[in-house]
Chains A and B, each alone.
Chain A
């Protein structure tokens, strides 16, 4: 069973809708990530949060808005999306460097998003 939980697992939304994806990790990690994976394409990093602070925005359009209220929760707020935004959205967490080394990333099961 994964220590990273994402909801919802599936989401269909219209281009004018507003929705949010939720990620929760129970591993005590201090870094969380949003990735996008389109069909038959590699993982694309979207955002990185370390210690609740956003440390990376990988040129993501503003229609995607992340929020990290604490080190255990990560949201991705969606508004006015386009059909090409349909993809698998994966959340991951890891223990970023604290002087004793980094750990690997653990992924949630993803939210499969379809924009119609």
Chain B
């Protein structure tokens, strides 16, 4: 079983739509959680960290459910510029040193 699994997509939504991505992780001891965004032929960039209490940044809301080992990202009022691949990332800490696990990514296309 993969460490991090995401909805494969692709998601194609009109401007202004609300879209949600889901992600599950296998290690219940995972420490930290992030959503990254990757544009075509570019490097991944941090979109937001995910906290247990849930957190919001403008149109983006991230949720973490430790009991279900589930992470979500909600994008409201989608813009054309939101078109990208969204990567779910989990940090596991072994003995003392962390290791990042990336999901395969979910592709989003927002159309006019």
Contacts and interface: CB of A to CB of B under 8 A. Distances in A.
A109 interface: yes
A3 B42 CA distance: 15
A94 B102 CA distance: 14
B32 A102 contact: yes
A43 B44 contact: yes
Given A102-B31, A104-B34, A97 B43 contact: no
A10 B41 CA distance: 12
A50 B43 contact: no
Interface residues of B, number: 23
A102 B88 CA distance: 16
Contact of B97 (A55, A92, A108): A55
Interface residues of A, number: 26
B108 to A, nearest CB: 15
Nearest to B87: A43
Contacts of B96: 97
Interface string B30-43: 01101000000111
Given A31-B98, A102-B91, A109-B42, 4 more contacts: A33-B100, A88-B41, A101-B32, A105-B100
Interface of B: 31-32, 34, 41-46, 49, 87, 89, 91, 93, 96-100, 102-105
